[in-house]
């Protein structure tokens, strides 16, 4: 048999067949791809904000009742006409249609592509639409009962359209019980506002003419939420014109406005800022305004992985994702967004976008501006330390500064330290007195300084007086001014001794008992007695001013 006979035979018998598909099933799966419960509001707001609609005012309201979550959106735009003609559909026909708008070739508005807003509306118990194009067009009222239940039964929803005399132009869409299964707690005003400002047309990231007023009402609270991504509204990116970067040391912020150096087939812009002052800008996961956010046609849709897009030190601790507010603007990626617009699909353009942004991050992280930004915390720390040192030096030279002096009969008075301001200076004073054998104890030898963060302050071999019990490695708590023992959370059985600089009469909460020694007090705590030794009242310890030192010719 000739070699080509079998192939020719197969070709002669091959025929084209129709692919089996179910339009209702497609619609159902499309709707179920919704990621965020507020995606409906995002899509309806995009419809109202399109330049073709021409709205000057958009109102978004939310409430909740026994039927579930209720969303209403109103715009004073051009309204929707209705033809009830498949070959010549009006705007209302397209909204109610099962088709996918621009994806099947229909002329679409600025942000429309897959008719997602109308489809998500069907995921509800009821949809109500009021719309009018103004004179001489009539007004239309549409009601769709149980659209999701109908779709779940593999049937197509049947809207009821009523026609009325013409009214003012505009459109109001009310979606009741969206999604039908959700009966959780109502959304708060702050949660919806954060979503609108950072994930919808309300948070538009580009410049725009004819900016609409956007009013949000949640459970009776109403506010004009403004227009544009809030964190970017007041930034003048012209300051970045030379290198694409501008470092403001005062605000500890690096502003970024950077496109690819060489011409690319895909138009990409990375803009925003990184900062060491996240709280100043209110950056947080809850506010949806930190990290790297993808904006398509000016609408910020979702965060993308900083690591995948080439961020290295910026992503980690320099300054870390919580201190980043950056937006990638790219119109050319829209067709590779998934059906719910909450992620990108695996496609060549997705990989190209990542490569372009990687190139931009490489330029940022190798720039002098970024390296200077990285060093700001250390620089600020040095400035702060310098200020502290200057203040301490001024304090030392101040005539009002008091000094601790040790006087021993027959010897020249010795200045030990300024009057202690903190626990560390009390420690220094103790060790100086220990070195001079000036502590009024039979034996005191410091073995270790542990520090309050880990437990006791000092371990010391201690004997209070001749004949008393020698104590090896006893625990001693150090205080500056002693007010209260129990407030420190120490167990008296573990910390039975305290050495402090002073024991003020005012503000003290612990009840103290005097002893025959002027520098020793006791506190009764449950079955233990705590001994408190006060340095200020020990023999030979004096507190003198600078003037008194000068009068006695005592030098520092």
Q: Where are the beta strands (DSSP E) in 299-449?
A: 299-304, 324-329, 402-406, 414-418, 443-449
- pLDDT at position 551 is 86
User: Per-residue b/e over 133-159, b at no fewer than 16 CB within 10 Å?
Assistant: beeebebbebebebbbebbeeeeebeb
- pLDDT at position 396 is 78
CATH of domain 230-377: 3.30.230
What's the CA gap between 115 and 506, in Å, rounded? 74
Q: Block means of pLDDT (10 residues each) for the chain, length 556 residues?
A: 58 65 69 80 93 95 94 95 88 76 57 78 93 91 93 89 92 94 90 96 94 96 96 91 90 94 85 94 95 95 94 89 95 81 84 94 94 86 67 77 90 91 93 95 92 72 92 90 64 73 80 92 82 95 90 83
Helix 39-49 and helix 189-199, axial crossing angle in degrees, nearest 10: 50
Phi, psi for 179 (deg, rounded to 5): -70, 160
The secondary structure of residue 211, as a DSSP letter, is: P
Phi, psi for 75 (deg, rounded to 5): -135, 150
The residues near 291 (Cβ < 8 Å, ≥ 6 apart) are 303, 306, 321, 324, 325, 326
The secondary structure of residue 509, as a DSSP letter, is: -
Contact 50, 80 (CB under 8 A): no
Contact 252, 278 (CB under 8 A): no
What H or E segment, with its residue span, contains residue 548? Answer: helix 546-551
CATH of domain 28-224: 3.30.565.10
Q: How big is the CA angle at 193 (ends 190 and 199), to the nearest 5 degrees?
A: 130
Q: Where are the beta strands (DSSP E) in 356-442?
A: 402-406, 414-418
Q: How big is the CA angle at 340 (ends 95 and 203), to the nearest 5 degrees?
A: 85
- pLDDT at position 103 is 41
User: Are β-strands 528-534 and 269-275 bridged in parallel, bridged antiparallel, or unpaired?
Assistant: unpaired
Q: Where are the domains of the chain?
A: 28-224, 230-377, 402-543
User: Per-residue b/e over 348-369, b at no fewer than 16 CB within 10 Å?
Assistant: ebbebbbebbebbbebbbebeb
What H or E segment, with its residue span, contains residue 390? Answer: helix 376-397
What's the CA gap between 267 and 119, in Å, rounded? 30
The residues near 41 (Cβ < 8 Å, ≥ 6 apart) are 60, 62, 71, 73, 192, 195, 196, 200
Distances, alpha carbon 4 to alpha carbons 10, 12, 13, 14, 330, in Å: 10, 12, 14, 15, 51
User: Per-residue b/e over 97-111, b at no fewer than 16 CB within 10 Å?
Assistant: bbbbbbeeeeebbbb
């Amino acid at each position: 048999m000739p070699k080509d006979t079998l192939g020719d035979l197969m070709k002669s018998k091959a025929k084209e067949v129709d692919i089996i598909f179910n339009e209702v099933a497609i619609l159902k799966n499309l709707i179920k791809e919704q990621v965020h419960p507020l995606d409906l509001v995002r899509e309806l707001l995009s419809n109202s904000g399109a330049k073709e609609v021409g709205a000057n005012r958009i109102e978004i309201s939310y409430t909740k009742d026994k039927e579930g979550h209720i969303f209403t959106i109103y715009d004073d735009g051009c309204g929707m006409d209705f033809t009830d003609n498949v070959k010549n559909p009006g705007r209302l026909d397209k909204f109610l249609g099962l088709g996918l708008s621009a994806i099947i070739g229909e002329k679409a508005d600025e942000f429309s592509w897959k008719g997602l807003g109308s489809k998500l509306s069907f995921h509800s118990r009821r949809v109500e639409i009021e719309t009018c194009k103004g004179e001489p067009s009539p007004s239309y009222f549409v009601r769709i009962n149980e659209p999701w239940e109908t779709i779940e039964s593999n049937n197509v929803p049947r809207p009821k359209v009523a026609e009325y005399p013409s009214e003012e132009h505009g459109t109001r869409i009310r979606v009741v019980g969206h999604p039908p299964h959700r009966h959780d707690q109502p959304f708060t005003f702050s949660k919806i506002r954060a979503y609108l400002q950072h994930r919808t047309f309300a948070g538009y990231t580009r410049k725009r003419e004819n900016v609409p007023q956007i009013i949000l009402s949640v459970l009776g609270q109403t506010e004009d939420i403004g227009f544009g991504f809030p964190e970017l509204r007041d930034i003048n990116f012209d300051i970045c014109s030379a290198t694409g970067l501008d470092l403001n040391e005062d605000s500890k912020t690096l502003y970024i406005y950077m496109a690819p150096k060489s011409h690319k087939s895909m138009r990409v812009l990375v803009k925003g800022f990184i900062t060491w002052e996240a709280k100043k800008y209110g950056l947080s996961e809850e506010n949806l305004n930190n990290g790297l956010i993808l904006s398509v046609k000016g609408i910020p849709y979702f965060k993308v992985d900083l690591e995948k897009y080439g961020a290295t030190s910026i992503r980690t601790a320099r300054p870390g994702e919580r201190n980043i507010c950056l937006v990638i603007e790219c119109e050319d990626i829209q067709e590779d967004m998934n059906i719910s617009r909450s992620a990108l699909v695996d496609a060549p353009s997705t990989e190209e976008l990542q490569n372009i942004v990687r190139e931009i991050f490489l330029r940022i992280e190798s720039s002098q501006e970024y390296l200077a930004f990285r060093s700001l915390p250390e620089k600020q720390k040095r400035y702060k330390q310098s200020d502290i040192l200057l203040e301490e030096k001024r304090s030392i030279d101040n005539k009002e500064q008091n000094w601790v002096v040790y006087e021993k009969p027959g010897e020249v008075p010795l200045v030990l330290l300024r009057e202690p301001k903190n626990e560390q200076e009390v420690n220094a004073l103790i060790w100086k007195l220990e070195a001079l054998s000036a502590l009024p104890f039979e034996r005191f030898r410091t073995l270790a300084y542990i520090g309050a963060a880990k437990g006791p302050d000092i371990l010391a071999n201690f004997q209070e007086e001749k004949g008393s019990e020698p104590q090896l490695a006893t625990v001693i708590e150090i205080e500056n001014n002693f007010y209260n023992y129990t407030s420190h959370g120490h167990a008296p059985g573990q910390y039975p001794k305290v050495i402090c600089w002073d024991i003020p009469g005012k503000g003290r909460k612990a009840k103290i008992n005097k002893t025959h020694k002027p520098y020793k007090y006791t506190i009764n705590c449950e079955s233990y007695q705590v001994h408190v030794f006060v340095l200020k009242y020990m023999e030979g310890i004096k507190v003198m001013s600078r003037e008194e030192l000068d009068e006695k010719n005592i030098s520092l």
